[in-house]
Amino acid sequence: MQDMDDFIIEQLKENPGLIPDLLRDTLQDLNSEDDNFKSLMKTIFYITKSKDGGVSELARKTGLTRQSLYRMFKKGNPTLKTLVSILNGLGVRLEIKAIHG
Protein backbone atom coordinates (compact mmCIF):
# COMPACT_ATOMS: atom_id res chain seq x y z
CA MET A 1 0.00 0.00 0.00
CA GLN A 2 2.90 2.35 0.68
CA ASP A 3 3.69 2.53 -3.03
CA MET A 4 0.14 3.71 -3.81
CA ASP A 5 0.30 6.27 -0.99
CA ASP A 6 3.59 7.61 -2.34
CA PHE A 7 2.18 7.71 -5.86
CA ILE A 8 -0.87 9.73 -4.79
CA ILE A 9 1.26 12.15 -2.77
CA GLU A 10 3.64 12.62 -5.71
CA GLN A 11 0.73 13.26 -8.07
CA LEU A 12 -0.62 15.94 -5.72
CA LYS A 13 2.83 17.54 -5.46
CA GLU A 14 3.14 17.67 -9.25
CA ASN A 15 -0.48 18.73 -9.82
CA PRO A 16 -1.74 20.76 -6.82
CA GLY A 17 -4.78 21.71 -8.90
CA LEU A 18 -6.08 18.17 -8.25
CA ILE A 19 -6.38 18.85 -4.51
CA PRO A 20 -9.77 20.63 -4.49
CA ASP A 21 -11.40 17.97 -6.69
CA LEU A 22 -9.97 15.09 -4.66
CA LEU A 23 -11.13 16.67 -1.41
CA ARG A 24 -14.55 17.54 -2.85
CA ASP A 25 -15.06 13.97 -4.10
CA THR A 26 -14.03 12.56 -0.74
CA LEU A 27 -16.36 14.91 1.13
CA GLN A 28 -19.26 14.03 -1.17
CA ASP A 29 -18.81 10.37 -0.26
CA LEU A 30 -18.84 11.22 3.44
CA ASN A 31 -21.59 9.80 5.61
CA SER A 32 -21.83 8.65 9.19
CA GLU A 33 -19.83 5.47 8.70
CA ASP A 34 -16.39 5.41 10.35
CA ASP A 35 -14.74 4.09 7.20
CA ASN A 36 -15.75 7.24 5.35
CA PHE A 37 -14.18 9.46 8.00
CA LYS A 38 -11.01 7.40 7.81
CA SER A 39 -11.05 7.86 4.05
CA LEU A 40 -11.45 11.61 4.49
CA MET A 41 -8.55 11.76 6.93
CA LYS A 42 -6.39 9.66 4.61
CA THR A 43 -7.12 12.12 1.80
CA ILE A 44 -6.23 15.02 4.09
CA PHE A 45 -3.02 13.17 5.02
CA TYR A 46 -2.09 12.85 1.33
CA ILE A 47 -2.74 16.55 0.81
CA THR A 48 -0.72 17.45 3.89
CA LYS A 49 2.24 15.33 2.79
CA SER A 50 2.13 16.89 -0.68
CA LYS A 51 2.54 20.41 0.72
CA ASP A 52 5.85 22.04 1.64
CA GLY A 53 6.55 21.44 5.31
CA GLY A 54 4.10 18.55 5.53
CA VAL A 55 2.69 17.64 8.93
CA SER A 56 5.05 19.97 10.81
CA GLU A 57 3.84 22.98 8.85
CA LEU A 58 0.19 22.00 9.28
CA ALA A 59 0.77 21.63 13.02
CA ARG A 60 2.25 25.14 13.11
CA LYS A 61 -0.68 26.61 11.17
CA THR A 62 -3.38 24.87 13.23
CA GLY A 63 -1.81 24.94 16.68
CA LEU A 64 -2.24 21.17 16.90
CA THR A 65 0.65 18.89 17.71
CA ARG A 66 2.19 16.63 15.09
CA GLN A 67 1.27 13.67 17.28
CA SER A 68 -2.41 14.66 17.45
CA LEU A 69 -2.49 15.18 13.68
CA TYR A 70 -0.97 11.76 13.03
CA ARG A 71 -3.48 10.22 15.45
CA MET A 72 -6.35 11.88 13.55
CA PHE A 73 -4.95 10.79 10.20
CA LYS A 74 -4.91 7.20 11.43
CA LYS A 75 -8.16 7.04 13.40
CA GLY A 76 -10.26 9.71 11.68
CA ASN A 77 -13.35 11.48 13.01
CA PRO A 78 -12.05 14.88 14.22
CA THR A 79 -14.42 17.47 15.65
CA LEU A 80 -15.87 19.93 13.15
CA LYS A 81 -13.79 22.72 14.70
CA THR A 82 -10.60 20.69 14.24
CA LEU A 83 -11.54 19.66 10.70
CA VAL A 84 -12.17 23.29 9.70
CA SER A 85 -8.86 24.30 11.27
CA ILE A 86 -7.01 21.59 9.33
CA LEU A 87 -8.70 22.48 6.06
CA ASN A 88 -7.91 26.18 6.59
CA GLY A 89 -4.31 25.22 7.34
CA LEU A 90 -4.20 23.43 4.00
CA GLY A 91 -5.63 26.45 2.21
CA VAL A 92 -9.08 25.04 1.46
CA ARG A 93 -12.52 25.85 2.79
CA LEU A 94 -15.43 23.60 3.68
CA GLU A 95 -18.48 24.50 1.60
CA ILE A 96 -22.07 23.50 2.28
CA LYS A 97 -24.60 23.04 -0.52
CA ALA A 98 -28.23 21.99 -0.55
CA ILE A 99 -28.96 18.47 -1.73
CA HIS A 100 -31.33 18.47 -4.68
CA GLY A 101 -33.72 15.65 -5.42
Q: What is the pLDDT of residue 7?
A: 95
Residue 68 included in any domain? yes
Residues 6 or more apart from 56 whose CB is under 8 A from it?
66
Residue 94 included in any domain? no
pTM of the complete model:
0.87
Structure confidence by residue, pLDDT tens digits, 89-101: 999 888 877 777 6
Q: Domain total for the chain?
A: 1
Q: What is the pLDDT of residue 32?
A: 56
The answer, yes or no, to whether residue 81 has pLDDT greater than 90, is yes
Residue 33 included in any domain? yes
Residue 98 included in any domain? no
Residue 99 included in any domain? no
C-alpha–C-alpha distance, residues 1 and 7, integer Å: 10
Residue 58 included in any domain? yes
CA angle 8, 13, 56 (to 5 degrees): 95
Residue 13 included in any domain? yes
Structure confidence by residue, pLDDT tens digits, 16-74: 999 999 998 888 877 655 567 888 899 999 999 999 999 999 999 999 999 999 999 99
Smallest Cα–Cα separation from 68: which of 41, 95, 100?
Answer: 41
Q: Which domain holds residue 45?
A: 2-89
Residue 95 included in any domain? no
